[in-house]
Amino acid sequence: MSGHDKEFDADDPMALVPAVMDVPMDEASYRQMAETFVEEYMLLGYSDEKIVGLFRNPFYRATHEILKTKGEAYVMDLIEEIRNG
């Protein structure tokens, strides 16, 4: 039996105790998080097209997750808002 297959032992001080947090998120907090991504890339000098590309590309998991959840119109609106204030 490999280490990965062993059951969690509460008395093992070195054991990893991971947990997935399935917490509902309010709209304002979600928007704030999404805005941070866009703002970060804009400060790096990325064009709007390049930023949209990061949302479309599944390799960029966090940004892509936003596009999958909210749709492309939400992302375009986000970029427009952060670009022009």
Partner 1 sequence: MAEVYNWQLGRNMEYPYEEHHSKRQFAAVFNTNRCIACQTCSMACKSTWTFSEGQEYMWWNNVESKPYGGYPANWDSKILSQLAEADPDGQKWSEDGTFDGKTIFEAAPKNERVLGYLPTNAEWRTPNLYEDTSTKYKSSGKLGLADGGAELPAHKAWFFYLQRICNHCSYPACAAACPRNAIYKRPEDGIVLIDQERCRGYRKCMEACPYKKPMYNAQSRVSEKCIGCYPRVEGSDPLTNGHPMETRCMTACVGQIRLQGLVDLNEDGSWKEDRHNPLYHMVKVAKVALPLYPQFGTEPNIYYIPPRWVPREYLTQMFGPGVEEAINAYRAPSRELLAVMQLFRRSQEIVFRYEIEEGPKAYETKVRGEKFTMYNDTVIAYRENGEEIFRTEVEEPVIVRPPERSNAI
Comparison of 21 and 73: residue with beta carbon closer to partner 1 = 21
Determine the Cα–Cα distance for residues 5 and 7; give it in Å rounded to an integer.
7
Q: Which of 73, 15, 83 is nearest to 46 (CA)?
A: 83
Query: In angstroms, what is the minimal distance from the CB of 49 to partner 1?
Result: 13
Instruction: List for the chain the helix, strand, coil content (%; round to 5).
Output: 60, 0, 40
CB of 72 to partner 1, least distance (A): 19
The nearer residue to partner 1, 23 or 73, going by C-beta atoms, is: 23
Can you give the binding site for partner 1, defined by CB under 8 A? 2, 4-5, 10, 13-14, 16-25, 28-29, 32-33, 35-36, 39, 42-45, 57, 59, 61, 65, 82-85
Question: CB of 52: closest distance to partner 1 in angstroms?
Answer: 15
Gyration radius of the chain over CA positions: 19
Would you call 46 exposed, middle or buried from its count of C-beta atoms within 10 A (0-12, 13-18, 19+)? middle
**Closer Cβ to partner 1, 27 or 73, answer by number:** 27
